[in-house]
Amino acid sequence: ALPILTKYYKDIHTGYIQTVTALANSIQAKDEYTMGHCQRVKDICCKIARRLDFSEAEIQMLEYAAILHDIGKIGIRASILNKKDKLTVAENNEIKKHPIISYNILKDIEFLKDGLNAILQHHERYDGTGYPHGLKGDEISIYGRILCIADAFDAMTSSRPYRKAMSVKEALNEIGRCKGTQFDPEITDIFIEIMQNNIKSWNTANYG
């Protein structure tokens, strides 16, 4: 019976991942950057979670959260998402609504319930100056703290219409500088160590 149950469980997980990916793909029509970004963020999150000895179920939940963390951008005007110049204060405030929009889109999906806080909190900062709720330290879920650092690193190392990408080395220096302010200190140390060990093998197509 065990192999049958295992197969059943794997089939369910595959179904969930396909559903989650389809949802995430829906935003690509508005913002091409988001899909590749979410996949890369997912890879980083899983590496950190494994180093923290998360269970497979916890890693899966973080995977779902990472793929879907920017789904709320579907509720932001495309003209803002794809703007070539620096955003105005009003436009920036509009973008800052995306974690709450994401949460509201996903809140009734039962299999995502443990990942919702991460999605809502991925722009909270360890020192309490983030958004949407100004949470600090351990008030931010561990998933949220992991997602925050993975999201920031990928944003720094990706070119956007309004700015050039940083090198991996520059981004790691920046993350080290923000340890304890923007990022959880323990997760910062683990992340930097992972990235330094993987720098050569890391996907150079994304992070050249």
Positions annotated as catalytic residues are: 73
Contact between 72 and 102 under an 8 Å Cβ cutoff? The reply is yes
C-beta atoms surrounding 57 within 10 Å: 10
Residues 6+ apart with CB under 8 A from 40: 154, 203, 206
DSSP secondary structure code for residue 1 in this structure: -
- Give the pair of three-digit tokens for residue 19: 């559903």
Measuring CA to CA, which residue among 203, 197, 206 is closest to residue 48?
197
CA–CA dist 48, 68 (Å, integer): 18
Residues 6+ apart with CB under 8 A from 63: 17, 42, 45, 46
CA–CA dist 165, 46 (Å, integer): 23
Residues 6+ apart with CB under 8 A from 82: 30, 31, 161
